[in-house]
């Protein structure tokens, strides 16, 4: 059974957008403005540019290697199994926490309508509340299990609503009241570059964009991937940046002038639905509350739905790579990794019962940020290892832009803070131990990995495959022999132009499963 290439340009773009546009837009403009004042607009431009660089590097690599679970597969192809495990495992851990986090966020907004879900006077879930959360997680699994085409249609409908809500809210505030003088109170950049960069890091700008990664993991089910993937990745980051910028402008112009007497850092709004709800009430637009509430409930569900899909593809990749049991990589008759969906649901259910919301958020942030390092490094490596592979999208000035993107990725990791970094180190250690244990078990049983078959299907050849960060020769070596990073090495061969003609861009994903 093959993965079904049923996701088009709109579908893949909306998968990335759904990952980026959560309920965070309700609070991020306020937090960034506290740091940077009106120069928060510059913070969004800088953060968007950094993430666009990362998206550009992934656009070339993922379009060239359109496989499911790309965050695990791409570093595997360029640097070998240990790199693939490090990136794939940490991304999987982060994704495993995303859906529970999104559902728990929904429950907080629905507290008034679900009084049975929380303990009286607190945010702790009751047993009935935990069961309700697991039921919502199971609904996300059911939607995904029905097939990638059905999932894409549902997600596209949800994402249209997620796009409409911030545009309606921002447009209403800008139309009813926009205090242009606020942009110079007390000055455009009261905190200078320290405040601007603080808004990018601790204000949450950089983390508002990380959801584009979902398009990378769904690449194995994308039609015409060499065209669709770059357009979806680049377009979603630019569109999301525009929406966040518009929301930031509406916030800056909508804050009442009397609240600026103590400066932007002292502004506070006491409303459960965030500062935009408070501004709307102050302007007499009480109807905005209903709009914001709808967005605050639907947005987390959409984010959880997309992360459920992405994490199943990561589980598939890790099953093929030997970290998880091979059965997890098997596909259902509908062409989806059903065993991976069920496995991830079980893990998420355990997390709901044993971990607090704050612990889930910390683990999520720690696990996801590392995976962004793979894009720029893999691009440079594969330019040298596989120069003849077809690249419809080819990043110009690749070395310079990849270096800049790598710096941006390390900034993201640094800005996460030590509380996040030490959790990441623990997760990495656990992943390496699990990888070594599973590899030793497979060697004792004499079982090989699924990588040869996957790569052979990907390139349409059985005589040469991409394996362990280098191109392994099986027959008819090419004259040019390159090892990792372009160093000449005896016995190694790159794909010839004839051998590198991939059917991936013409439909038909890699074979997966047992």
User: H helices within 110-126, ranges in order?
Assistant: none
pLDDT of residue 109: 84
pLDDT of residue 448: 53
Least confident of 22-26, 415-419, 506-510: 506-510
Strand partners, 134: none
For β-strands 470-473 and 464-467, DSSP reports them as antiparallel
Mean pLDDT to the nearest integer, 133-160: 96
**Distance (Å, whole) CA 14 – CA 276:** 24
Mean pLDDT to the nearest integer, 288-314: 93
Q: Which residues contact 364 (CB under 8 A, 6 or more apart)?
A: 94, 97, 98, 101
Least confident of 205-209, 333-337, 369-373, 498-502: 498-502
Strand partners, 473: 464
User: H helices within 110-203, ranges in order?
Assistant: 127-145, 148-176, 192-201
Confidence bin at 100 (pLDDT 50/70/90):
very high
pLDDT tens figures, 192-243: 999 998 888 878 898 889 899 999 999 999 999 999 999 999 999 999 999 9
Mean pLDDT to the nearest integer, 90-113: 89
Mean pLDDT to the nearest integer, 8-22: 95
pLDDT exceeds 90 at position 54: yes
pLDDT tens figures, 105-126: 889 888 888 889 888 877 789 9
**Distance (Å, whole) CA 147 – CA 136:** 18
Strand (E) or helix (H) holding 80:
none
Whose tokens are 């099953």? That residue is: 319
The token duo for 297 is: 């409930």
pLDDT of residue 81: 86
pLDDT exceeds 80 at position 492: no
- Residue 107 φ then ψ, to 5°: -65, -35
Higher pLDDT, 367 or 142: 142
Sign of the torsion angle spanned by Cα atoms 184, 185, 191, 195: negative
Mean pLDDT to the nearest integer, 248-270: 91
User: H helices within 146-286, ranges in order?
Assistant: 148-176, 192-201, 205-208, 213-217, 225-254, 275-282
pLDDT of residue 485: 36
Strand partners, 466: 471
Mean pLDDT of the chain: 84
Integer-rounded Cα Rg, in Å, for the chain is 23
pLDDT of residue 318: 92
Mean pLDDT to the nearest integer, 257-270: 88
**Distance (Å, whole) CA 75 – CA 255:** 46
Q: What is the largest CA-CA distance in the chain?
A: 77
3-state secondary structure 359-396: HHHHHHHHHHHHHHHHHHHHHHHHHHHCCCCCCCCCCC
Whose tokens are 């047992």? That residue is: 514
Closest CA to 32 of 213, 251, 216, 230: 251
pLDDT tens figures, 428-459: 899 889 888 888 887 887 755 444 444 444 43
pLDDT of residue 514: 34
Query: pTM of the entire structure?
Result: 0.86
**Distance (Å, whole) CA 469 – CA 484:** 6
Whose tokens are 């049991």? That residue is: 325
């Amino acid at each position: 059974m093959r993965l079904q290439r049923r996701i088009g340009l709109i579908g893949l773009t909306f998968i990335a957008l759904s990952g980026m546009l959560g309920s965070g837009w309700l609070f991020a403009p306020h937090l960034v403005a506290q740091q940077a004042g009106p120069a928060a607009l510059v913070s969004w431009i800088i953060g968007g540019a950094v993430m666009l660089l990362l998206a550009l590097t992934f656009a070339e690599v993922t379009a060239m290697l359109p496989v499911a679970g790309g965050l695990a597969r791409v570093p595997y192809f360029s640097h070998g199994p240990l790199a693939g495990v490090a990136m794939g495992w940490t991304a999987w851990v982060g994704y495993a926490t995303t859906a529970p986090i999104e559902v728990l966020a929904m429950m907080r907004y629905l507290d008034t309508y679900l009084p049975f879900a929380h303990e009286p006077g607190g945010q702790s879930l009751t047993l009935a509340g935990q069961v309700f959360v697991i039921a919502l997680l199971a609904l996300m699994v059911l939607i995904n299990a029905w097939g990638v085409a059905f999932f894409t249609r549902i997600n596209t409908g949800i994402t249209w609503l997620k796009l409409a809500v911030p545009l309606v809210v921002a447009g209403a505030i800008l139309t009813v009241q926009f205090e242009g003088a606020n942009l110079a109170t007390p000055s455009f950049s009261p905190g200078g570059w320290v405040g601007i960069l603080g808004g990018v890091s601790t204000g949450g700008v950089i983390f508002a964009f990380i959801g584009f990664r979902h398009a990378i993991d769904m690449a194995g089910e994308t039609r015409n991937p060499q065209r669709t993937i770059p357009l979806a990745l680049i377009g979603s980051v630019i569109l999301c940046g525009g929406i966040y910028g518009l929301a930031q402008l509406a916030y800056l112009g909508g804050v009442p002038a009397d609240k600026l007497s103590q400066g932007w850092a002292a502004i506070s709004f006491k409303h459960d639905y965030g500062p935009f709800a408070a501004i709307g009430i102050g302007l007499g637009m009480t109807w905005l509350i209903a709009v914001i509430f709808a967005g605050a409930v639907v947005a987390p569900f959409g984010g959880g739905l997309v992360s459920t899909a992405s994490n199943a593809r990561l589980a598939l990749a890790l099953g093929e790579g030997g970290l998880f049991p091979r059965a997890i990589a098997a596909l259902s008759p509908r062409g989806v990794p059903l065993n991976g969906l069920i496995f991830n649901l079980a893990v998420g259910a355990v997390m709901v019962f044993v971990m607090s919301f704050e612990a889930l958020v910390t683990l999520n942030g720690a696990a996801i940020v590392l995976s962004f390092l793979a894009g720029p490094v893999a691009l440079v490596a594969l330019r040298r290892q596989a120069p003849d592979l077809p690249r419809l999208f080819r990043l110009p000035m690749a070395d310079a832009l990849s270096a800049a993107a790598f710096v941006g990725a390390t900034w993201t990791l640094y800005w996460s803070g030590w509380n996040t970094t030490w959790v990441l180190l623990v997760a990495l250690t656990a992943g390496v131990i699990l990888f070594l244990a599973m590899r030793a078990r497979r060697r004792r049983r004499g079982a090989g990995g699924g990588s040869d078959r996957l790569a052979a299907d990907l390139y349409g050849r059985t005589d040469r495959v991409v394996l362990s960060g280098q191109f392994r020769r099986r027959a008819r070596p090419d004259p040019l022999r390159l090892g990792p990073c372009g160093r000449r090495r005896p016995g190694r061969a790159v794909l010839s132009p004839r051998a590198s003609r991939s059917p991936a861009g013409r439909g038909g994903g890699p074979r997966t499963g047992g």
